[in-house]
Structure 1
Amino acid sequence: MHSSRLAYLFHKYINKEYTPIEKEELMLLIKQGENDEALKKLISDMMAESNDEMELPVESGDAILQSVLAKEAYTGIYVPVARKRHRLKRVSIAAASIAVCMLTVYLVGYKTGGKKEVAKQEIRAPAVEVSTGTAQRKTVRLPDGTQVWLSPSTVLEYPSAFGGGTREVKLSGEAFFEVAHDARNPFIITSDNIQTKVLGTSFNIQAYHNQKKIAVMVVTGKVKLSNLGAMHDKIENVEIAANQKAVFDKNTDRFIKEDADTVAAPNMLKRKEGEFVYKNERLQKLIDDLQEYFGVNIQVAREIRECKVTANFYVTDDLQDTLEPIAISVNGDLQKNNNEFFINGKGCPE
């Protein structure tokens, strides 16, 4: 039964008439060692039937069969074809040679019991890039079901289809992630030299090129952070769980791990709706973020840069209306010159 079914599926595959289920069934039959001889005969018969239509050097045919049946790694076999004037009977020259080579790739992958050899032959899925401008937000649904909320001035790059055992994306800017759980395929975000690896969780990552720090705060689950471009010999790894935050300082090339208060992490959820909440944050940090979000130059007097402030706003709000209460909270005043702002002050309130 197996041999007749193998022949049926083999010819369906060669003629490109197979369904996805039939293709999977063929690969499973091929994986069984008891079908090696039947498979060898099918390939030999196909070559013999096509002999009048294409000239296949003996050594090339042997190399194909040996690479399949001897379970050798497939490195690519050149199959020269010489056309003759009479019409093809069953299989076109191009289809016959290409089909054998394609089948060889699949056979080697299955016969070695793994996906490494096959993965090397896979074509990378086209990259997709989504970006936001100043005062703009976007929501993106990735191929695996992961949802991403992009903050202003952000660029997210990801493949149109995930493969190869991982789900990898690149981020420049800020985004909130709700990662679809998949224990077999870790989700990896690369921002500059920092890699964030998760299985399924929700967290916010801020990694603007213009800022000296990269911050990750976890709302649910757990993530692992790695410094791939470490100046020191050993790559630094940090794990953080819910209500924890890790900050990477580009100047010191080090992570700082801290426990967030019970309000900070849940406040990150509000960013999904476009509301940005800050509690007891350094004024200069808030101003740095506002410059990224609104694309406007904002200067702060040196004496009040380290003052702690509390604020909330939407990126659709008027920037001046957002800055005025912030200036008042630090006993300062707001000045505007064309499209630039300056917050003046003599010192932090007691």
Structure 2
Amino acid sequence: MTDSDSLIKLITKEFSGEISDNEKQRLENELSGSSDKQRIFNYLKVRWEAAGRLKPSVTVAIPWDDVRERIIRQVQQPAPPSRMKQVFLKSRWYYVAATIFFLVAMVFLLTREFKTNMVKHQALYEPVTVLLPDSSTVWLNTGATLHYREDYNEERRAIKLVGEGFFDVIANENKPFIITTNETQITVLGTSFNAKDQVGDAFAEVTVVTGKVAFYAADNQRSGEILTPGYKGIYDKNTGLFTKTRNTNLNFLSWKDHKLIFKAASLTEVITVLENYFKKEIKSRNDRLLSCQFTMEFDSPSMEEVLEVLAISAGIEYELVNETYYLTGPGCD
């Protein structure tokens, strides 16, 4: 189902009184995020209420897909003009005609709304930097995609993020900055933070550097966390629960700044960071190595540069076999 189909269905349920609490919240989110959609909703509400004052003599239940197909056929292939016939406002045929007019108008207006051109930025092979029209800056990690409307910043600042990105947002109290990911939504006024929501991951994360961020589920703004500098929000996609915790990961921006920092970190922690940064697999052939601790910093290092420091510090030897690094050595007590 397309975005316009989903919104049409929500509006229809709202006007017919069949909308659930969750669906009502989703509709409110959609309308609050777009003044165009709100105007369309208000326009259609007036027409619906006018049609509702005409009492039909029959009630017909028609599957949504059938209704949608009939509406689209009428929009795409309008009936040829015919001679005017006298009708009575109280007849059920006028009610049906008014209802069809409402639905056709809704499809037409919402289809036009969703035809607004979109701008797309994608980091295919390496991180890229994107300067938004409001001078906010986004750093996209490799594999991430950013979408926003061509009229971004005219009335609102809203973007769609797939993957991981770091945001430095220009403050504007009149236009909150709204990010939608696969399953969450982030709202800020002016701040800098890292957002990560990879397709297939069990968790979505937001880590705040400056300012304040509202982090909540895309379909439920009542559930979420307010995050301040130094804190990280974690959303469990399976349970729908949020966790707020201090950020202890010194390397959460290594993909952006190309710096690696370790302070009394075990080899297990070092391996996790290196695998994430270099996208290479590392295995230890001696479990005693994993308890060794390291304090070191690197600026734009190569894998070999880091491994050489490990070799000097703890007598570790390494070899590359089929794209996997294997570590050997006596280990630490």
Query: Which residue of structure 2 aligns with residue 297 of structure 1?
Result: 281
Alignment partner, residue 136 of structure 2: 146
The DSSP-based 3-state class of the residue aligned with 1:144 is coil
1:259 to 2:246 alignment: yes
Q: Is 2:181 aligned against 1:190?
A: yes
One-letter code aligned to 2:123: S
Q: Could you tell me which amino acid in structure 2 is paired with residue 257 of structure 1?
A: K
TM-score, normalisation: structure 1: 0.51
Query: Partner residue of 1:121?
Result: 113
Structure 1 match to 2:159: 168
Alignment of 1:1-350 (within 5 A): 76=104, 121=113, 123-133=115-125, 136-151=126-141, 153-161=142-150, 162=152, 165-172=156-163, 174-183=164-173, 184-191=175-182, 193-208=183-198, 214-227=204-217, 236-248=223-235, 254-260=241-247, 264=250, 272-280=256-264, 283-284=267-268, 286-300=270-284, 309-315=294-300, 317-326=301-310, 332-344=316-328
Shift of 1:225: 2.3
Instruction: Give me the whole-angstrom Cα distance separating, in 1, the residues matched to 2:241 and 2:82.
Output: 61
* Structure 1 unmatched ranges of 5 or more: 1-54, 60-72, 78-101, 106-117
Partner SS, residue 233 of structure 2: strand
1: CA distance between counterparts of 2:324 and 2:131? 36
Contiguous gaps of at least 5 residues in structure 2: 1-80, 86-100
* 3-state SS, counterpart of residue 121 of structure 1: helix
Contact 2:131 2:137 in 1 (8 A): yes
- Deviations 1:190-246 (CA, angstroms, capped at 9, x unpaired): 15x34333222101234455766544321100112224599xxx9751222012223
CA contact (8 A) 2:167 2:193 kept: yes
For the aligned residues, what is the CA RMSD?
4.7
Identical amino acids, percent of aligned pairs: 25
- 3-state SS of 1:197 partner: strand
Whether the 8 Å contact between 1:327 and 1:343 is mirrored in structure 2 is: no
Aligned partners of 2:178 and 2:187 also within 8 Å: yes
Kept after mapping to 2: 8 A contact 1:244/1:259: yes
In structure 2, the CA distance between the partners of 1:240 and 1:298, relative to structure 1 (3 Å rule), is same
SS, match of residue 145 in structure 1: coil
Q: 1:187 to 1:229 in 2, by over 3 A?
A: closer
Shift of 1:297: 2.4
Deviation at 1:189, TM superposition (A): 4.2
